[in-house]
Amino acid sequence: MAQQHLDPTDPTATPVTGEALAGYLRAQATEFLRALRQHRETGAAAQGGTEDSVDAARALRRSVRRISGSLHTFRPLLETDWSEGLRPELAWLSGTLSMEHAYEARLERLLLALHRLSGASGLPAQTAAASASPATVVSGRTAGLDTAPLKAAHGTSGPADTDRGNLTVGAAKAGALLERQLTLARTRAHSTALQALGSSRFHAVADKIAVLASEVPLTAAAPTTDLRPLAAAAEERLTDAVAALPLVTAGSPYNAEALVHGLSPDPAPHPQDAPWHQVRLLLRLHRYAREALHGTGGPGGPVDVRLLTAGQALDRHRDASEAAAAAAASARTPRIAPATAYALGVLHADQRHEVEAARFAFQQCWQKQTVRTS
């Protein structure tokens, strides 16, 4: 079904000047300060935090990404020294705040995939695992993956049943290994985030954003300059990047090249993934530019369904790609049992198939006919 969205290059549309950009940046800066206050009030010292603190951290990242993206897209309309000095700090803050959530989501994704692939009957809740001691976590994970399905596997004789039995045996230890490694990484990311939020570097960034909430350092010509050419340039960069993607390959159900690379001893990221990650970033910049043009950007504001669906597909692509890399890295752990390595190999292949599924979903979404209206 065709989706409707506004065209920033439409010459008949009313010009949108730098005053609209100033209003958008002030709104995002105000949202940042509100989220920061909520984050401090709800308390985020405990790993994982409460639901309110998690929401506040998400709102912090959301506003920081939009401010940073707007500084990038509309930098000719902003004071150069100020914007070029703030952008790297916003990138540092966004990356630091996102790591704990990324590790948590990656662990949950991999454990659920192991559970699905092994046919296990029970999987301990993530909340219980996070609060348990390491020994309890390992034994609990083993108990969750090593019960009835394993016994059933011993009682069957078909090749598929034998493979499932081998996977179930290794899945328990693979899950425990992944939990140890990713929980440790998450704990370190949590400590890093706490240190960052208490640092003088963060307070300097927060002070600049607080000033931004009331005063946006525009250039002298910005109040009368149309934003649409800059927004159109962001859209063009996105269109060119998408045109360079192998969408024909993304339309096929199987991409053996990606699987072969992941099973090699080379720990470098797969070269096919980088262009897709770049498109994901450019799509965000395009969305934020459209928000600035149309005065949206709040949690309840209108969204372009086509762009939102495409962004969700690329988010799934990024998550599956990073999960596959984590499974491959765990499989390279020295002196692990063959059954554990087998389970991690199956898990890696499963996540690479998820990567291909996300690419196919993006291709189907992006190639839909677009209706442009003024």
DSSP string across 45-97 = -STT--HHHHHHHHHHHHHHHHHHHHHHHTGGGB-HHHHHHHHHHHHHHHHHH
CA 93, 362, 366 angle in degrees (round to 5)?
105
For residue 43, is it left (φ>0), alpha (ψ between -120 and 50) or beta? left
Whole-model pTM? 0.79
Most confident of 16-30, 123-137, 152-166, 261-275: 16-30
Least confident of 24-28, 51-55, 79-83, 361-365: 51-55
Mean pLDDT score, 249-277: 65
Residue whose pair of structure tokens reads 């010292």 in the numeric block = 45
| For residues 216-230, average pLDDT | 94
**Radius of gyration of the chain, Cα coordinates, nearest whole angstrom:** 23
pLDDT category of residue 112 using cuts at 50, 70 and 90: very high
Res 180: pLDDT: 97
Locus of tokens 């662990």:
107
The rounded mean pLDDT for the chain is 81
Q: To 5 degrees, how large is the angle CA 111–CA 112–CA 114?
A: 65
Whether the pLDDT of residue 309 is over 70: the answer is: yes
**154-205 residue pLDDT tens:** 344 455 555 555 577 789 999 999 999 999 999 999 999 999 999 999 999 9
pLDDT band at 151; cut points 50, 70, 90: very low
